[in-house]
Each structure stands twice: as C-alpha cells, then as structure tokens.
Amino acid sequence: MVGLEGSLEPPTAFALGWLPPPDQAVQGPIHGVERCQGRDTHSFSSAALRKRMQTPGKQNTGAQNFRNEINEVPFFDVHLPYELALKIFQYLGKAELGKCAQVSRTWKVLAEDEVLWYRLCQQEGYLLDVSISDRPCWKLALKDCRAKERALRTNWKNRSGAVSQLQYELGKVLCDVHSCDGVVIAGYTSGEVRLWDTRTWDYTAPILEPAHGPGDAGPQPHVSFVRINSSLAVAAYEDGTVSVWSLMIGREPIHRYQHNQRIQALALGSKGATVATASGFEVKVESPDDRGFWQTTGTFEIQKLVNFLHLVPEVWDSPVAVAAAEDVVYLLKGEDPGKILHSVYGQPVTCLDVSAHEAAFGVKGFGWMLNEPNQVLLYNLETSQCLKKLGNSMGDFTCVNLQDSPPNMLVTGNKDRRVRVYDLRRSTALCSLYAHRLGVSAVQMDDWKIVSGGEDGLVCVWDQRMGTKLWEMHARHPVRYVWFNSHSLITANIPDEKTPRGASIMDDDLTAHRRHRGIIYAYEFSVDQLAVESVLPICRSSYDEVMGYNYNIGLAVPYDHI
C-alpha cells in the first residue's frame, strides 16, 4: 500500500502476507482487540473500529467523527499485535512513515513510534553515542540533525564561518603540521613544538617541553616531523631524537629515543600508542607494554632510503608498517620482516597512503615508454596482490588520500595541475579538476566536496558533483597539510626554505619575518559558532536563518535583541 516490496493483490492477500508463518504464529486470536504481552493489539480493521465506536457513552460523538474520517480509507480485515506491526514498519523510510501517519490516527501513533525514528536516526549516522531514552522525540531530533547538516553544507559552499590564524612568532619558521579531531600540533625551526585546540577558541596553546640530554647545551635542533593522535604527540628532530608526549599527563615527554642519523620519516598509529621512525636503512617501531614501559617492538633493515612511512590502522596484535624506499614498497611485519609488496626497477614511488586493508601509492613511469605512464597502484595488504592500476598521466602523482576518502573512493593530486577522483570499482577517473598551476601538494575528499592545496599557496574547495570551484584562499608558501571534518578545516602553508637568506642562527632577533614563517589556518563552519566576536550580541539577528544575502555579511536587521 505504501511502497512496500513484495506486495500481493488483492488487499486481503497483502494483509495476510504480513502474518508470521504457522510455526511462528502469534499466540491467541488476531481478529478483534486482544491482549499481547500486556499491551493492546493494534487494529487495522474498519469493521472492528466501527463496532467499538457504536458502544454507548460520552465518546460516541468523537468516535463518530473518527469513523467518518476513516470510512474512505481501505483497511485490511485483520488485526495485528502492536509489536508485529512495529516490526513491519521498521522497513519503511522517512517518506513512507510520513504517508502512513496520514492514513488514520491509529496508524499515526504507530508511524511516530520512538523506536522507529531512533533507528532511522542511527542509520543516517546521527547521535550514535546516545541511547533511546536520552531524547523525548526522536523524529524531531532527526529533523534537527538534518537541518544542521544542510546549514553546514550551505556555510561550506558560501565560506560562511570563522577563521583563525595559528601563529607562534618565537618558533621562527614552521617545519611540519599535523592534527587529530581539531587538535593541531606544529613544529618549528627553534626546536619548539606547540599545540592548539581549535574546538575551543579561548584555549591557551601549550608548548611541549623537549627532553634534555646530558650534552644538550646550546640551541635546539630543528623539528623535522610532528604527529598526533587522540592520546599521544610525537616530534622528530634533525639530530635523530624522537620525543613522545602524553596529552593527558603534561608537557614533559614520557618517552625519548635516539637514531644515529637524520630521521627521514615518522609515523604514529591513528589509535593506540605505536610510533615508527625511519633513519638511514633502518625502520624502528616502538610501543609500550602492558605495564606502560616503552620498548622496541621491531627493527627492520631496508636496502634503500625510506621516503614514506605509514602504520596500518586497526591492527591491534602486532604493529604493521608500510614503507616506500625509492622504487620498492615494503610490508613490515614482526613475523615476516622485510616483505616486498611492490618493486619495479626505475619506477620510484612518489606518494603513499594506507587504509586498514589496502595501500595506494603513485609510481613514476619510464619517460621514454608511452605504455608505462605514471599510475596509482592499489594493493591488498593481506594477499599482497595488486588490485587496481589507476590513472594514465604524464605528470607525477604527488599526493594520494585513501584512508580519509569514502568507501571505494580515492583522490589524487598530480604535477600536471589536476585533482582526480577515482572509484576503485573502475579504472577511469570519475572527475578531473584543473586545480593548481604549480601542481597539487595536498588533497582530501568526502561524499560531496574536495579540498585541495597547491604549490602555489592556494587552498581550493570543490563541489564534486558539479565539478566546479566553490571558493579559494591564498597564502604565501606551498600548502603541505589539509584536513577537514564535517564542520572545520585546517590548512598549513609550510615554507620550503627553513633558513631564510640573511637570517643566521646567531642573530639576536628571536623571531623571523612573517613572510618567512609560514602559517596555519583553522576554519569553523559550525552553525553553533558563527557569531563573530566583533559583532555585539545586541546587533545579532534572532532569526534562525538570515535570508537575502550571499556576501558573508552578518546582517543585523530586521529584528535585533533589544
């Protein structure tokens, strides 16, 4: 009747199709009004309703109107228990439940049951950590969540929101940036590491203290890499030192270890406490034991210098790392050290990213052979088999994002100035966007938008379905880091030149000129935080939505708070 699949004709057969099989039949009669597990059965019979409404009493007038209301609606000649009818309605969507609620008052009560709307809210990904008893009306909660999501998308498209510059003048030149759920970590040439929590705008960013060794007098070495997850922050320095901080304890490091040579790559598990570093021809993996004491869980010898290093997420028993060293990709496991995942002589790896079960990396083809173009290869980490060869580009693939992309999707950036989106079930690109005139350096996507950063310092936001640019922002220096979630965006412009011309390590000036420092931008598009601090509360409109403008102007009319 309302779009259910498997319906039969005539209507009586359709109703009987809802009944359970004989071996699972509901105990007791189903015709008439009965009791089922202490609750009234739900009647779907107009004849039974008419019989009940003909009983004398004060309710006869209202019942007569109710009877007249449903006389024109065809009902089934059976009565179903409320629990069974609820199980039938759980297969309906929002539109179908809305149509059922218009049939009669009886159906309206069933179609607005809290269990149905709680399940719909969970299926759409809203309020996953909330129990059904925490909200009085789940239909209204789902409506509010969808309205907030639409407002967020509108703010993204119109660049309506708050933007903040995360700067630390005493740090001199910015070296590396990473973030996790809105918490940003940055390392500087002064050797200092600083944190920002962009979720709280009045948060005072702490400086993480380095671990001082016995011969550490003098200036601190530059920070080479920084990484952060929900519990740990890690920094690698130019002298081969690695410091690990706990975000829960304080500013002093909880662990420190040393490499003999400069560190070429650093990786931190997305969850847990596993750190991997590559120095020279060695990859070292460190993690704490059950008592909290840090130890080296794996040391791997590699024949070539490592360019990229990642820890495979969602691996709990023994850490698994993927390392790209020139033209070889290694799968580093404790039980199988030095396993080669991919190796083609003369085709170096230009970028790398991993997910829980797959690894994607760009390879540079032979320039003189047209049948060996630059491609992105997708490998299964369990079988070590190549699943897909994506792309056919004359330029090198400079960045690839697999872990943060939607399922079966992958986004890449290339030196040929284009951003490409691939469906892993196909070999051709879904869309190709001419993005940055000097090449793409960072990229991320979700189900409807793409954010890309380029060597030219531009950050561009694209509508994936339309293939058009929504807006862009420019800053000096290449964009080396891009991260976003549903309501915020973090970008970092990091200079290539760490020691600007004319600057000396012996200079008395403790700061670098702002044009040499690099900069971090934090954008907030949440509808709950769009009140700009410069606008007084008395000048803010009380409307939920201010209509009639598209110029990022917070209009204060027609009504203000007085």
Range name among 37-41, 233-237, 291-295, 521-525 with the lowest pLDDT average: 37-41
Distance of alpha carbon 26 from its chain centroid, rounded?
Answer: 45
Residues 380 and 475 in one domain: yes
pLDDT above 50: residue 454: yes
Range name among 199-208, 256-265, 513-522 with the lowest pLDDT average: 199-208
At 84, is the pLDDT very low, low, confident or very high (cuts 50, 70, 90)?
confident
Residues 368 and 449 in one domain: yes
Tokens of 94: 């929002």
At 370, is the pLDDT very low, low, confident or very high (cuts 50, 70, 90)?
low
Residues 419 and 545 in one domain: no
In terms of DSSP bridges, do strands 79-80 and 162-166 run parallel, antiparallel, or are they unpaired?
unpaired
Residues 435 and 548 in one domain: no
Give the residue from 240, 290, 291 showing the smallest Cα distance to 266: 240
Q: Final residue of a domain: which of 447, 468, 485?
A: 485
What is the three-state SS of 44-109? CCHHHHHHHHCCCCCCHHHHHHHHHHHCCCCCCCCEECHHHHHHHHCCCCHHHHHHHHCCCHHHHH
Residues 416 and 544 in one domain: no
Give the residue from 239, 244, 274, 269 showing the smallest Cα distance to 256: 244
Residues 464 and 562 in one domain: no
Which amino acid, 307?
A: N
Which regions of 259-317 does DSSP assign to beta strands (E)?
263-268, 275-279, 282-288, 294-301, 308-311
pLDDT score at 444? 97
Asked if residue 371 is part of any domain, the answer here is yes
Number of neighbours of residue 473 by Cβ within 10 angstroms: 18
Please give the share of the chain, as a percent, with pLDDT higher than 70.
74
Average pLDDT over residues 455-477: 93
pLDDT above 90: residue 431: yes
Between helix 94-101 and helix 114-123 the angle, nearest 10°, is: 160
Convert the pLDDT of each residue in 48-65 to its tens digit: 434 444 444 444 444 444
pLDDT above 50: residue 5: no
CATH number at residue 104: 1.20.1280.50
Residues 419 and 475 in one domain: yes
Residues 416 and 477 in one domain: yes
CATH number at residue 441: 2.130.10.10
pTM of the model as a whole: 0.77
Asked if residue 109 is part of any domain, the answer here is yes
Tokens of 276: 């991997």
Please tell me the total count of domains within the chain.
Answer: 3
At 457, is the pLDDT very low, low, confident or very high (cuts 50, 70, 90)?
very high
Q: Final residue of a domain: which of 156, 190, 218?
A: 156
The residue segments making up the domain with residue 363 are 344-485
Residues 35 and 138 in one domain: yes
270 vs 8, higher pLDDT: 270
Q: What angle do CA 498, 504, 506 make, to 5 degrees?
A: 130
Average pLDDT over residues 496-500: 84
Cα–Cα dist 512/51, whole Å: 88
Residues 152 and 15 in one domain: yes
Asked if residue 366 is part of any domain, the answer here is yes
pLDDT score at 437? 92
Cα–Cα dist 521/482, whole Å: 10
Q: Which residues contact 238 (CB under 8 A, 6 or more apart)?
A: 221, 222, 223, 224, 262, 263
Asked if residue 384 is part of any domain, the answer here is yes
pLDDT above 70: residue 543: no
pLDDT score at 171? 83
Residues 15 and 148 in one domain: yes
Residues 373 and 469 in one domain: yes
